[in-house]
A and B are shown apart, each in its own frame.
Chain A
């Protein structure tokens, strides 16, 4: 590879400056603010401020509602990541088999990705709201007691469905690309050896898709953890009870609804640590085992 050498030291910094400025202003500065706020106790207007050390963290970690949020988040993220990837993979494999109109199906599959989270949430709400949902009525006619406003599990199913639906497109796109990168010769060889389609999928296609699957696992986990606020906000608002209050939603609720800034900031800091740990772990340990073909 040819090394690019810049004539003097200023130019590289200058070229990096816009990105650095964005990172500093939109990441480091708010992060520093969160750290600062997390060790303070303050009223909403910031008129009275007391330094409390780690008291906010102790309080948050000792709060049963916080532990409930952790549980909700784990259930939600695992379900969303798994469902979104499994369904997308299934659809991608099916779409590969289509001979005519491949492009048409693919375009339709990718469509939901352009929908904003809050709108995706509203869409599902309009279908499944117990009082005005177009699909809630037939559900009830079928004898299913459908009321996600009171039933925590149904509410969870609803937000998982909405979040999954929105993410399938993205996963689909990557799986299609991944499938196309698998050498035909391997599959043909397997076919000649008399392997069934299912067998060929699990022993050849799936392992060769591992890099894509791994990448999507990271992206989907991060998506489920952090990008689903809009959906939850629109569909359940964290309810009923606290059945769909994820960690991110709790940060919002405590900070912006209940105006407890210290607790909210402490939770943000904990979240930041979780993300850093998760990403570091995934890239250090899991990635090594991925077969990059």
Chain B
């Protein structure tokens, strides 16, 4: 037998020392400024304790990250934490056995999980009907209205008071176009998320049965009269050239930052690009339909949450719990909120931001929170959920595009969207 040389023994001891830390993998889909926030939070968490090493890994867009996670799970290589966008929530909730509820992780990790500390509108969306939090809301956003102050001035509109209802938006948009202040009055990102899902919640009308799918498999109600009225108005504006369609996701932001359109509805998370464009912009609440009873109600969150995958070691779960506990801390949440434009998750962080002069210095940044917190959510406004929400949105987009191209009216588009959507839901739920 040979004696191990001294230097080799030293070399072998090195990885052992590193292994004392439990590694926790975190797959995310954040880019640009938001990716820097992820890196900073992970670095700070690692520096704050000695037992766990959090490793964030960028996995592409939201759908790509979700798919990578699913493929990895099937291959038995799932990450510990994965960031899943709002529409993937139904998919993850259906995957019992593949995931571990966050409330459980926190409790087992020795942390008290007090629901009342979190913003109800956000946490409600990521919980079971019984109220158990399933995933950790990392980045939440809400749709708001942006307007170009220069264009408003040129068109002779009130620069300080953006339109509050859709009727006012249409009127302002027409005036922008007619006065020649801009070639396009109004544009919007995400017709599905803003004009369908949030439109339902904000105007307190049903998107689907079973509390919009939160309490069970939904049947779509998006062909209701208020939706038809709204989309017909939108289709008419498109025909006049007052409304310009930008695309299915956030492409329309370009039409706004380029100065082509005077008004935009977009996620509060899109603020960064608008600030970067250097334009003279203003922020207003998401418009509501003045004929809807009780409107405005409250908006529902978009964005993404962090899911914990199942079948990991106890040590890993302890680390995940420690990280979520760290993430809930007021300073961390405040940092996240002020840096990224996403909403804070805890009441304390919201109060702390209110206590500072951040909202005075950055007017409009509180708007998305106020929208979401304004009223106690009804069964129409807690969010929407379906086992196949991405597919439903695809179907809606297809029908909306045909409508905006003038191939069908709003009533037909919505009827088709609802019927095709319901068939797809039945298929997904029965499969």
- Residues in A lying within 8 Å of B, measured CB to CB: 41-47, 130-132, 147, 149-152, 237, 239-242, 253, 256-260, 262
CB-contact partner of B397 in A41, A44, A239, A262, under 8 A: A239
> Which chain B residues border A131 with CB–CB below 8 Å?
244, 246, 251-252, 254-255, 258, 260
Closest 6 CB pairs of A and B: A240-B401, A258-B391, A150-B405, A131-B255, A45-B95, A45-B98
- A residues less than 8 Å from B98 (CB atoms): 45, 47
The answer to whether B390 touches A258, judged by C-beta atoms less than 8 angstroms apart, is yes
CB-CB nearest in chain A for B187: A131
For B255, the chain A residues whose CB sits under 8 A away are 131
Beyond known contacts A147-B245, A242-B398, A259-B390: 15 more, CB 8 A cutoff: A42-B431, A44-B95, A45-B70, A45-B95, A45-B98, A47-B96, A131-B254, A131-B258, A150-B401, A237-B248, A239-B397, A258-B390, A258-B394, A260-B391, A260-B427
List A contacts of B401 (CB < 8 A). Answer: 149-150, 239-241
Q: Which residues of the other chain, A, contact B427 by a CB distance below 8 angstroms?
A: 260
Q: In the complex, which residues of chain B have a beta carbon less than 8 angstroms from the beta carbon of A241?
A: 398-399, 401-402, 405
What mask results when residues 235 to 258 of chain B are scored 1 for a CB within 8 Å of chain A, else 0?
Answer: 000000000111110011011001
14 contacts between A and B (CB under 8 A): A42-B431, A44-B70, A46-B73, A131-B255, A147-B245, A149-B245, A240-B398, A241-B402, A258-B388, A258-B390, A258-B391, A259-B388, A259-B390, A260-B431
Cβ-based interface call for B3 (8 A): no
Task: Determine how close the nearest CB of chain B comes to the CB of A133; give it in whole angstroms.
Answer: 10
- How many residues of B are in contact with the other chain, CB < 8 A? 36
In the complex, which residue of chain A has the Cβ closest to the Cβ of B246?
A131
Of all chain B residues, the one with the shortest Cβ separation from A41 is B431
Q: In whole angstroms, what is the CA distance A260 to B91 when docked?
A: 11
Q: Which residue of A lies closest to B95 (CB)?
A: A45
**Does B67 sit at the interface, judged by CB under 8 A?**
yes
Bound Cα distance from A253 to B397, whole angstroms? 14
By secondary structure, the A interface counts as loop
B252: shortest Cβ distance to chain A, in Å?
A: 7
Q: Which residue among A41, A240, A256, A260 has the maximum number of chain B CB atoms within 10 Å of its CB?
A: A240
Q: How many angstroms between the C-alpha atoms of A96 and B258 in the bound complex?
A: 45
| Docked pose: A43 CA to B73 CA in angstroms | 12
Contact A257 B63 (CB under 8 A): yes
Do A44 and B91 touch across chains, with their CB atoms under 8 A apart? Answer: yes
Contacts of B398 in A (CB 8 A): 239-242
Does B410 count as interface, using CB distance less than 8 angstroms? no
Proximity string of chain B (387-420) to chain A, C-beta cutoff 8 Å, 1 when within and 0 when not: 0101100100111011011000000000000000
Question: Is the beta-carbon distance between A257 and B391 smaller than 8 angstroms?
Answer: yes
A132 contact from B254, B428, B431, Cβ within 8 A: B254
Are B246 and A152 in touch, CB under 8 angstroms?
A: no
Nearest CB to that of B431 among chain A residues?
Answer: A41
Q: Does B74 contact A (CB under 8 A)?
A: yes
| Assembled-state Cα–Cα distance A152/B91 (Å) | 31
At the interface, yes or no: B355 with Cβ under 8 Å from chain A?
no
**Nearest-Cβ distance from residue B406 to partner chain A, whole angstroms:** 8
Specify which chain A residues have a CB less than 8 angstroms from the CB of B405 in the assembled complex. 150-152, 240-241
Task: Enumerate chain A residues within 8 angstroms of B431, measured Cβ to Cβ.
Answer: 41-43, 260, 262
B97, CB-defined interface residue at 8 Å: yes
B91 with A47: CB separation less than 8 A:
no
Residues in A with CB closer than 8 Å to B96 are: 47
Given A41-B431, A239-B401, A257-B390, A132 and B70 contact (CB-CB distance below 8 Å)? no
Inter-chain contacts of B251 with A (CB < 8 A): 131, 149
Interface residue B225 (Cβ < 8 Å from any Cβ of A): no
| Beta-carbon nearest neighbor of B183 in chain A | A140
Contact A256 B67 (CB under 8 A): yes
| CB-CB nearest in chain B for A155 | B401
The answer to the question of B94 belonging to the interface, with a C-beta cut-off of 8 Å to chain A, is: yes
Which of A45, A46, A151 has the most chain B CB atoms inside 10 A of its CB? A45
Which residues on the A side are within 8 Å of B97 (C-beta)?
Answer: 45, 47
**Chain A residues near B91 (CB-CB < 8 A):** 44, 259
In the bound assembly, the distance between CA atoms of A111 and B109 in angstroms comes to 59
CB-CB under 8 A from A44, the residues of chain B are 70, 91, 95
Bound CA–CA A64/B328 (angstroms):
49
* Contact (A132, B245) CB under 8 Å given A43-B94, A240-B401: no
Per-position contact with A for B6-22: 1 when CB-CB < 8 Å, else 0? 00000000000000000
Task: Give the chain A neighbours of B74 by CB distance below 8 A.
Answer: 45-46
